[in-house]
Amino acid sequence: MNNKFVVSVLALLLLVSVTVQVSHTSFQGSFESLPIYVDAPLPYSYLIDSNSTHYFLFNGTTKKLDNNPSTNRTYLETLAVGNLTANGGTVFLRDVQWNTSIIRPSNVQILESYQGNLTWWGDNTFWVNGVNKTETLDNLDCPVATSGTFTMPNVPVYEQIIFEVHVTPANITVVNQLYVDLYDLTKNCTIKIYFKVDGASYRECTAMRLTNLGYADQKALVLHDLTLACDMKITIMSLESEGATRYIPYLYIWTVW
């Protein structure tokens, strides 16, 4: 084979491997430079991200590029909004600004995360796959720490409720971590966890029962990463009379979806 022809073919293959024709521009570079992060603080229909040269439109369902990269963010924003006009949805802009001159239908929401600030265009109504799911922004994937102190009176031994977690059936609640500080106790105790599966009556999950806990377990991690769709309560029962009032601090971190 002619050496000059071989060199020409190799040069052509190299050119094809690094040049991709896209809308409005020619994207020069490796596909490895494309943004691949598709996480967001709420369920989204489309995500628009960018690198130093281009903007990228990701599909929220497939988590893949939905259109060729572009240097024109307004083009991709308009495209995303247009695709959602029929069923509604949310467009998440990460490190990208929203062009407010674009006409936004009432069933399409925009969440812009830019230079450390979150800006919301919408009516606090979220559309996911054509379904209207109304939640406030405060309830979206934002871990919240809740703390308190349970006062355990010096009375004959019986089971007492430390605290309860009440959830909204339409939401999913994740208890990220739960701590109970038993340092004040002088006797061992049992901690039980109950769930209101039928929405009316609590039932204990015996597999989660913790027994013979005492002051040595100063900050016992009772549970973590527990997903809830029903009410839950935590109880304590001292195995012997304490002889005085005891104080049991608790802390749990939860996220509501």
pLDDT of the residue at 136 = 42
pLDDT of the residue at 206 = 93
CA 197, distance to chain mean position in Å, is 24
Whether the per-residue pLDDT at 9 is higher than 80: the answer is no
d(CA 145, CA 177): 9
Instruction: Choose between 141 and 81: higher pLDDT.
Output: 81
Q: What is the DSSP letter of 139?
A: G
**Which range has the worst mean pLDDT, 7-21, 159-173, 213-227?**
7-21
Whether the per-residue pLDDT at 255 is higher than 90: the answer is no
pLDDT of the residue at 132 = 52
d(CA 232, CA 193): 7
d(CA 246, CA 4): 90
Q: How far apart are the first and last CA of the chain?
A: 64
Mean pLDDT of 245-250: 88
Residue range 65-107, pLDDT digits in tens? 888 899 999 999 999 999 999 988 889 998 899 998 999 888 8
Residue range 143-195, pLDDT digits in tens? 777 888 999 888 767 889 998 888 876 667 888 888 888 888 888 888 899 99
Q: What residues contact residue 63 under an 8 Å CB cut-off, 6+ apart? A: 38
Whether the per-residue pLDDT at 64 is higher than 80: the answer is yes
Long-range contacts of 142-145, Cβ-Cβ distance < 8 Å, separation of 24 or more: 142/41, 142/255, 142/256, 143/176, 143/253, 143/254, 143/255, 144/253, 144/254, 144/255, 144/256, 145/251, 145/252, 145/253
The residue assigned the tokens 């919240």 is 144
232, 165 Cβ separation under 8 angstroms: yes
Query: How many helices (H) and strands (E) would you count in the chain?
Result: 2, 18
Nearest to residue 66, comparing CAs of 26, 22, 110, 24?
22
Tokens of 143: 């871990």
**57: confidence class by pLDDT, cuts 50, 70, 90:** very high
pLDDT of the residue at 4 = 42
- Domains (ranges, CATH) in the chain? 21-139 (no CATH), 144-256 (2.60.120)
- Find the length of the chain: 257
Would you call 108 exposed, middle or buried from its count of C-beta atoms within 10 A (0-12, 13-18, 19+)?
buried
Q: What residues contact residue 81 under an 8 Å CB cut-off, 6+ apart? A: 91, 102, 103, 104, 105, 108
Single-letter amino acid code for the residue at 235 = T
pTM: 0.46
Percent of the chain with pLDDT over 70: 72
pLDDT of the residue at 168 = 74
Mean pLDDT of the chain, nearest integer: 75
Nearest to residue 56, comparing CAs of 81, 23, 104, 88?
23
pLDDT of the residue at 188 = 85
**40: confidence class by pLDDT, cuts 50, 70, 90:** low
Range list of H helices, the chain: 3-18, 73-84
